[in-house]
Amino acid sequence: MSQHEYYSLTVNGEQHPVQDAWIGESLLYVLRERLGLPGSKGACEQGECGSCTVYIDNAAVCSCLVMAATAVGSQIATVEGLNTDGSLTDVQQAFVTEGAVQCGFCTPGLVMAVHHLLDHNDSPNEQEVKEALSGNICRCTGYGRIFAAVESVISVRKSSAS
């Protein structure tokens, strides 16, 4: 590949052409600056904060650490794709209801991390929740409201399944 390439990425089930990109651009940069998907946030850009969390082929990854061109052929999912009809997911609603959003910068990454956890474990214990969210840093909330939001989703999902 030359330094400036054309390729396309599959994001939230749709093909997105990426034109005139430098081949070393991160997936986070391409999503935000080239594809108009600003939901994933860039803070540390070093894989430390989790604010840029997306899924690649159902694995939760820090998009700041992935070169976009290496994701060609993969299924990429961003926070914008969680609910395409504009409504909030149960996790997003619980964050609002439980007061787990202050500045909101960490919220998209945390919401992605919580959905990923609950997609793989519908009944995580407190330790499992803490471990699953340990890669997502929040500077505002002290985490208590975030854990309360997760507990609330678990409990509502359990009661609606029974």
Q: Which residues bind ligand FES (CB under 6 A)?
A: 42-45, 47-52, 62, 64, 101-106, 138-141
Nearer to ligand FES by C-beta: 9 or 62?
62
Residues forming beta bridges with residue 7, ordered by sequence position = 18
Alpha-carbon distances, residue 99 vs 15, 103, 157 (angstroms): 36, 11, 19
Closest CA to 115 of 71, 77, 162: 77
Residues forming beta bridges with residue 15, ordered by sequence position = 10
Nearer to ligand FES by C-beta: 44 or 96?
44
Nearer to ligand FES by C-beta: 39 or 50?
50
Shortest reach from residue 161's CB to ligand FES, in Å: 30
Shortest reach from residue 104's CB to ligand FES, in Å: 6
Nearer to ligand FES by C-beta: 17 or 35?
35
Shortest reach from residue 2's CB to ligand FES, in Å: 27
Please check whether residue 52 is in contact with residue 41, taking contact to mean a CB–CB distance below 8 angstroms: yes
Structure tokens given for 55: 């899924």
Shortest reach from residue 78's CB to ligand FES, in Å: 13
Residues forming beta bridges with residue 67, ordered by sequence position = 26
